[in-house]
């Protein structure tokens, strides 16, 4: 789901878009190694409690994990836009 965040002008629009995101995962999908036959093995890398955590991603779940990481990035962009709108309402 791709949303043009800069077009969102109200906090309600942003909150509604955030509520639509049901599954998300923090981190980045990487190729951890390749077999001699060229098959790629993927992992999900993310920081947790100040340390790098790496988890193997089975081939069958690769597309879902990539979508979940994209959802996380989208969610964080929405959070940033929400903060920008809140800050713009301050009279400083």
Q: Residue 88 is encoded by which pair of tokens?
A: 């713009």
pLDDT of residue 64: 97
Query: Of residues 29 and 90, which shows the higher confidence score?
Result: 29
9-34 in b/e burial notation, b at 16+ Cβ within 10 A? eeeebbeebeeebeeebbbebeeeee
Residue 85 has pLDDT above 80, yes or no: yes
Please write the tens of the pLDDT for every residue from 44-82.
999 999 999 999 999 999 999 999 999 999 999 999 999
Q: What are phi and psi of 74, to 5 degrees?
A: -65, -45
Helices (H) and strands (E) in the chain, counts: 2, 3
Q: Give percent of the chain above pLDDT 70.
A: 90
The whole-angstrom separation of Cα 36 and Cα 23 is 34
């Amino acid at each position: 789901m791709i949303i043009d965040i800069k077009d969102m002008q109200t906090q309600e629009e942003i909150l509604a878009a955030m509520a639509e995101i049901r599954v998300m995962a923090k981190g980045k999908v990487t190729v951890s190694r390749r077999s001699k036959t060229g098959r790629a093995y993927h992992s999900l890398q993310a920081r947790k409690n100040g340390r790098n955590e790496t988890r193997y991603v089975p081939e069958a779940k690769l597309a879902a994990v990539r979508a979940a990481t994209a959802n996380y990035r989208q969610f964080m962009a929405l959070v940033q836009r929400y903060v920008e709108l809140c800050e713009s309402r301050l009279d400083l």
